[in-house]
Every structure is written in C-alpha cells, then in structure tokens.
Amino acid sequence: MTPAVMSVPLASALSRRISERTAVVGIIGLGYVGLPLISAFTTAGFRCIGYDVDPAKIESLKAGRSYIRHIASDAIADWIRRRVLEPTADMSRLNEADALLICVPTPLNASRDPDLQFVESTSRAIARVLRPGQLVVLESTTYPTTTRDVVLPILQQNARGLLCGEAWFAAYSPEREDPGNPDFSAAGIPKVVGGIDEVSSDLACSLYEQAIVRVVRVSGTEVAEACKILENTYRAVNIALVNELKVLFDRMGIDIWQVVDAAKTKPFGFQAFYPGPGLGGHCIPIDPFYLSWLARRQGLNTRFIELAGEVNAAMPRYVISRLTEFLNEVGKPVKGSRICLLGIAYKKNVDDPRESPAFELMHLLLERGAIVTYSDPHIPQLPAMRHYDVPDLRSSDLTPEFLTSLDCALIATDHAAFDYELIVEHAPLILDTRNATKDVARGRDRIRKA
C-alpha cells in the first residue's frame, strides 16, 4: 500500500479490500467490453455486479445464456451458479459495488461529433447513489479531458460534499478488446490506467493488477484517454493508406494484397495493414472524428486524420462502382440484379455489426434498385442500426441452388465459416473485398477484387 493511499482512510480501506479480493466490482454496460471484464475479474476471484439498462440482456445472463459469440453460455451459467455475477437493471444498486467500471457506448451524433449521452446518464445515475469509498473508472472510448471535464463535474455536483481523492476516487482506463481474436483475452491485454489524482491512480492500478496481466500507469486521465485515440487513429490512417493504394493499383492491374504480403517480409520498419470495403467496429471508424472535433475546439485542423477518414468513408462507393463495372462486363445493370452480401459483421468470425461497412453497401445497392440478400452465420437476422433503415431480412443459407440464383456474391466479411470453394463453384460472379478467395484455384475468371 502506497503512502498516498495510507494517508487517506477511505482509500486505505478500499485498497485492503482490493488486495484481499473482497471488493465488489461493478461493470456498467454488459456488451463486448463489459462481459470480458467480468470474465477477467471473476477468474481472479472477485464478485461482480453487472449493470445494464437492457432488461433482455439481464434476463439472458440470469438464465445463463450468452448473446456474444466469444463468451460461452457455459461460462455465464457458471458465474451465475457460483454467485460471482449478479446481473441487474436496477441502477439504484450502484452503491453496492466498491469499484464501478463504466463500459457504455460512445457513438457519434448525426453531425459526426462525440455523443456522450450514455456516459453522462451513467454518471448521473452513479452520482445519485455515490457513497464514500467508491472508485469510478471510465473505460468507454472517448476524447482527452472527458473524465475530468464531463464525468467528474457530474459526480462532484451530486456528491453531497464528498470530494474526489478523499471520499471517492476516479480514473480512466481505455478498453482494449479484439473480438474474435483467440490470442488475446481481456485479462491478457496490458491495461493503461490514469487517475484524476495520485490516490485514484494507486487504487485503479491496484484493482486492475489483480486481474490483468500487466498494468501501465500513466500520469493522468488525459494521457490514458489520448492513448486510446492514438491507437485507433494509427490504424485508421494506415488502413486509409492501403485503401488509397488499392484504388491506384487496381487501375494499374496490380494486386494490392500481393504487394502488402511482399512488403511485410521486411523484418523492420513495416507493419501490414489490409484494405477492405470500409471501416467497422466501435472504435476505428469513430475515434479519428473525436480527435478532429477536439482539434477544432482548440482552433486547429487535423488535416492528415480527416483525409484518412475521407478515404476510408469513400470505400463502400468504390466497391459499388467496381460491382457496377463487373456486372456491365456480362451485360447486366445493378438495378434488378440479385446481389448477396456475404458477411454483415464488421470483422471476420464475430457477431458484432457495429459500424459495419456492409450496411452502407446494402444501402447503396438498394438505392440503385438491386435485389439484396445477405448471409452471415453469426448474425441470423439484421439488427436495427442507428443510421440506416435496415430491411427485415434473415441470413440466407449458401446452398448451391441459392448461389446459382444470384447475379453476384459480394464478400464483405471473410468469415472462416464460409465455404469459398462452394461459393466460387456456384455463384456466377464473385466480388471479393477481403481477398477471401485467394486459395481457390478454379473459377478465378469469375472473381474480381475490390
């Protein structure tokens, strides 16, 4: 226990409960970030309370059923059976947890500015019942200064005179999830942690050290927030680079996938990024806009980042233009053509549709009069989306008869579950945006890349 913690009685008491693993960990937001965190903390011997405003999620968890593919139902049933997880939609119970980890969505609004309504409403819910000795950690991806300038004032305003750093404590630790990657679990990914003050940092680091392989302490919440933005903007910019080169090399008859594979044989100074039909997931398509918005508030322009955003945002229209050219080669217009989107999830082998470029592809195809279907073994029915009028469709089985009935199969997500040999054998045309058919030898004259 550090001298700073020892000098604050409430911090000292919480530190002891954390080290003894008797502290109750509350996870707010039981989605793709929250459930893996519960796995990490229950495995480490902590009892968790899971909070979510969606009653369907709560009922599913209580029944031992998972709604996220890479979290097994058996694991959830075991948490419930051992009483190490108690799911609830009752936010008046937020004071029962010693540490509260906020894992709620942080989307963009219609004008592409940060939408912190879920962070703010969660902060208000905590503030109503905040008690002495609690630690509050924001994990939601956001822009630097959010914890100090948005969350802290809400908590402090309703804290009934309780002071942060003395009676309660606050920190930021960005979520680092890679859904569908079996090499990295929540417990196995190093955790960056920054507190509002030294005592808060000590407590937050101590908590995560109990459950996470490595904790990286930084000087404050702003550095931790900026770290997350940098990680994802780095990926967005490099993906934009290969997407732009893809357009150029396509025109020159050069295969961008072969180029990247050749370049990555260099053992230094190069990291491989791959093109695609657009960006997906909660972080990479969104974080650069957070940074651009923050820069504008500081009177600056992030031209490099904004250009990358423009390149990536243009990819769905580029894919549709390639599809149009491909259909024209066989004398067919897009209007009236039967197009099946293969893959709705934003990345391979996951059931997460957030910000998936497949929805923009579907929108553009429907706008042009195509007859659109989709197939995704991980998403049996199209979910409602914030920015799209999603048709009522269910996933189609990729039978030989169905594939033969199409005019074109458009591979938007390269799920391992797809039988690419079968697809190429029976679909009249295949537009491959993920290089998924690279190992298929026969029928290559009916495949185009985009």
Say if CB 137 and CB 155 are below 8 A apart: no
Give the separation between CA 406 and CA 233, rounded to whole angstroms: 38
Token couple for 381: 């029915």
Give the separation between CA 387 and CA 111, rounded to whole angstroms: 12
DSSP state of 385: B
Say if CB 242 and CB 311 are below 8 A apart: no
Give the separation between CA 186 and CA 174, rounded to whole angstroms: 12
Give the separation between CA 295 and CA 297, rounded to whole angstroms: 5
Give the separation between CA 399 and CA 237, rounded to whole angstroms: 39
Give the separation between CA 365 and CA 330, rounded to whole angstroms: 18
CB hemisphere CA count around 92 (13 angstroms): 0
Say if CB 296 and CB 111 are below 8 A apart: no
Give the separation between CA 336 and CA 327, rounded to whole angstroms: 11
Instruction: Report CA 135 to chain centroid distance, whole Å.
Output: 25
Q: How many CB atoms lie within 10 A of CB 176?
A: 20
* Greatest Cα-to-Cα distance within the chain, rounded to the nearest angstrom: 79
**Which listed residue (205, 227, 283, 408) is catalytic?**
283
Amino acid symbol at 124: R
Q: Please give the torsion angle defined by the CA atoms of residues 9, 10, 12 and 15, in that order, rounded to the nearest 10 degrees.
A: 180
Q: How many CB atoms lie within 10 A of CB 397?
A: 10
Give the separation between CA 360 and CA 354, rounded to whole angstroms: 12
Token couple for 187: 């417990």
Instruction: Report CA 213 to chain centroid distance, whole Å.
Output: 21
Say if CB 146 and CB 225 are below 8 A apart: yes
Active site residue 283: yes
Which helix (H) or strand (E) segment is 211 a member of?
none
Q: Which residues are catalytic?
A: 283
